[in-house]
């Protein structure tokens, strides 16, 4: 077995190491910072967030209603500040993205437009045991069309829920039964296993079968590079509190491919979806805004958008390309540590090829649920924040913007202590 490099050396060579200082780490009861490996669930608070929020509180106090049009970042156009960074993170044209609502709400808005069952083609293809909210959303959309979820939701996956799903399985299914599928709704990165999917391949297979292809990017955005426009996805939706560090319940986002912009699609409408030139004319006819903005309903929650606006700055500064390079190295390092030193404790469920995963490693604890829960709680007491998935999985996520190689090494030490 190769000896692993010294983490201190890797940290010194890391050109992104300075970004760690821009984030606020929770403190342990005894004072030291926790080892934080939960960026897949809630990203840490960037230091600059408080200032951005304070600015809007100041505008509200000093300008009140005039804040819509005046100040550093006028509220009527606030969501537009997020457009360029989000387009970069998703590989989209600026007009194809919009920051709005929350993820499940956006999935609904997208399905209203892109799940249009017709005759035999009335089914939605999803993965086996998806994130519950996605399944609930799909189920209710199917019902809204007067259809039966037990017939119209097809769950695809190999064996148990925590197994890797090869894209070829999706392709062969769609070749066989694609004429019954109206929509393929798939994750970019799977929340439970950490598997990254090939969005282009899935989109091509869906389109070849005559179906729409939509993606839930909750665990993909800010984690892996995306190229939604080139890959041809019809739509995507994501949340912003995980890898984007936008804060709890942060304003989410949507992508609608250029080919659908300006098309005559069914859509839920609100006044913020109206062309900004016409919005305040208060006309009865809905004149859609150009681009994905037409899907907006309400004027956005500025105080919830400010943290995201702040957090996206660090992605702009670091660049997704550099983040991804570090991420491969960092997660690879953690993987080697687990393989070499924690082989008796964990089985790694996440794919080994770096192309097929992002930051996260899903670790099944040997010994089952009770042993797993005990270990998870011990780690928490020892200041290691990871997350627990029933029945026996601990997800550990080193993120490149604020985690270090030393964090990974310390994780290993704490697990050894907790299991000795
Ligand atoms: C985190 C996550 C959600 C959460 O939905 P909200 O609407 O943001 O509460 C939904 N789906 C997936 C796949 C997720 O990972």
- The pair phi, psi for residue 191, each rounded to 5°, is -65, -35
Contact 148, 117 (CB under 8 A): no
Nearest CA to ligand 1 atom 2: 218
Please give the distance, rounded to the nearest whole angstrom, from the Cα atom of residue 189 to the centre of ligand 1: 12
Choice from 133, 137, 221, 397 to test ligand 1 binding pocket (greatest atom count within 8 A of CB): 133
**Cα 344 from Cα 333, distance rounded (Å):** 18
- Give the pLDDT confidence of 167-224 residue by residue, as tens digits: 999 999 999 999 999 999 999 999 999 999 999 999 999 999 999 999 999 999 999 9
* pLDDT for res 329: 98
* pLDDT for res 98: 98
* pLDDT for res 283: 85
Q: What number of CA atoms fall less than 13 Å from residue 45's CA on the CB side?
A: 15
Please give the distance, rounded to the nearest whole angstrom, from the Cα atom of residue 237 to the centre of ligand 1: 10
Looking at the CA of residue 187, tell me the nearest atom of ligand 1: 13
Judging by DSSP bridges, how do beta strands 384-385 and 35-36 pair with one another?
parallel
Pocket of ligand 1 (CB under 6 A): 102-104, 131, 133-134, 187, 191, 216, 218-219, 239
* pLDDT for res 31: 82
Residues 6+ apart with CB under 8 A from 81: 73, 309
Residues 6+ apart with CB under 8 A from 51: 310
In a 3-state reduction of DSSP, which class is residue 156? strand
Please give the distance, rounded to the nearest whole angstrom, from the Cα atom of residue 392 to the centre of ligand 1: 21
Residues 6+ apart with CB under 8 A from 172: none
* pLDDT for res 32: 80
Nearest CA to ligand 1 atom 10: 133
Handedness of CA 191, 196, 202, 203 (dihedral sign): positive
Evaluate if pTM is beyond 0.85. Answer: yes
* pLDDT for res 158: 67
Spell out the per-residue pLDDT of the chain, length 420, in tens: 568 899 999 999 999 999 999 999 999 888 888 999 999 999 999 999 999 999 999 999 999 999 999 999 999 999 999 999 999 999 999 999 999 999 999 999 999 999 999 999 999 999 988 999 999 999 999 999 999 999 999 999 866 656 899 999 999 999 999 999 999 999 999 999 999 999 999 999 999 999 999 999 999 999 999 999 999 999 999 999 999 999 999 999 999 999 999 888 999 999 999 998 888 888 889 999 999 999 999 999 999 999 999 999 999 999 999 999 999 999 999 999 999 999 999 999 999 999 999 999 999 999 999 999 999 999 999 999 999 999 999 999 999 999 999 999 999 999 999 998
* pLDDT for res 169: 95
* pLDDT for res 159: 66
Please give the distance, rounded to the nearest whole angstrom, from the Cα atom of residue 218 to the centre of ligand 1: 6
Choice from 42, 43, 131 to test ligand 1 binding pocket (greatest atom count within 8 A of CB): 131
* pLDDT for res 95: 98
- Give the pLDDT confidence of 3-58 residue by residue, as tens digits: 889 999 999 999 999 999 999 999 988 888 899 999 999 999 999 999 999 999 99
C-alpha closest to that of 128 among 159, 98, 106: 159
Please give the distance, rounded to the nearest whole angstrom, from the Cα atom of residue 87 to the centre of ligand 1: 20
Enter the DSSP assignment of 242. Answer: S
């Amino acid at each position: 077995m190769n000896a692993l490099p010294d983490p201190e050396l890797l940290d010194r060579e890391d050109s992104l190491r300075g970004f760690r200082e821009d984030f606020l780490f929770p403190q342990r009861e005894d004072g030291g910072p926790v080892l934080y490996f939960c960026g897949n669930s809630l990203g840490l608070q960037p230091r600059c967030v408080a200032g951005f929020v304070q600015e809007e509180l100041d505008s509200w106090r000093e300008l009140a209603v005039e804040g819509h049009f005046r100040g550093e970042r006028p509220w009527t156009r606030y969501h537009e500040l997020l457009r360029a960074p989000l387009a970069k993170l998703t590989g989209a044209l600026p007009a194809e993205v919009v920051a709005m609502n929350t993820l499940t709400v956006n999935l609904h808005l997208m399905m209203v437009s892109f799940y249009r069952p017709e005759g035999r083609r009335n089914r939605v293809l999803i993965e086996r045991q998806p994130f519950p909210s996605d399944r609930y959303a799909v189920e209710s959309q199917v019902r809204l069309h007067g259809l039966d979820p037990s017939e119209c939701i097809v769950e695809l996956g190999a064996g148990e829920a925590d197994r890797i799903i090869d894209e070829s399985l999706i392709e062969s299914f769609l070749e066989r039964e694609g004429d019954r599928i109206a929509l393929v709704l798939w994750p970019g990165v799977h929340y439970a296993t950490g598997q990254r999917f090939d969005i282009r391949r899935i989109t091509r297979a869906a389109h070849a079968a005559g179906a729409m292809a939509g993606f839930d990017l909750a665990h993909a955005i800010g984690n892996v590079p995306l190229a939604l426009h080139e890959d041809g996805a019809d739509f995507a939706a994501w949340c912003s509190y995980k890898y984007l560090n936008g804060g709890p319940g942060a304003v989410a986002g949507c992508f609608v491919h250029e080919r659908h912009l300006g098309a005559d699609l069914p859509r839920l409408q609100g006044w913020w979806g109206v062309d900004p030139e016409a919005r305040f004319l208060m006309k009865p006819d809905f004149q859609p805004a150009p681009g994905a903005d037409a899907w907006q309903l309400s004027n956005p929650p500025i105080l919830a958008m400010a943290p995201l606006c702040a957090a996206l700055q660090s992605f702009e500064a670091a660049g997704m390309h550099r983040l991804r390079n570090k991420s491969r190295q960092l997660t690879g390092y953690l993987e080697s540590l687990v393989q070499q030193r924690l082989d008796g404790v964990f089985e790694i469920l996440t794919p080994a090829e770096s192309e097929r995963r992002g930051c996260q490693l899903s670790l099944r604890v040997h010994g089952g649920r009770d042993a797993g829960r005990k270990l998870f709680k011990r780690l928490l007491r020892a200041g290691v924040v990871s997350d627990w998935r029933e029945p026996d999985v601990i997800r550990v996520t080193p993120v490149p913007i604020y985690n270090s190689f030393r964090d990974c090494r310390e994780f290993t030490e704490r697990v050894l202590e907790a299991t000795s």
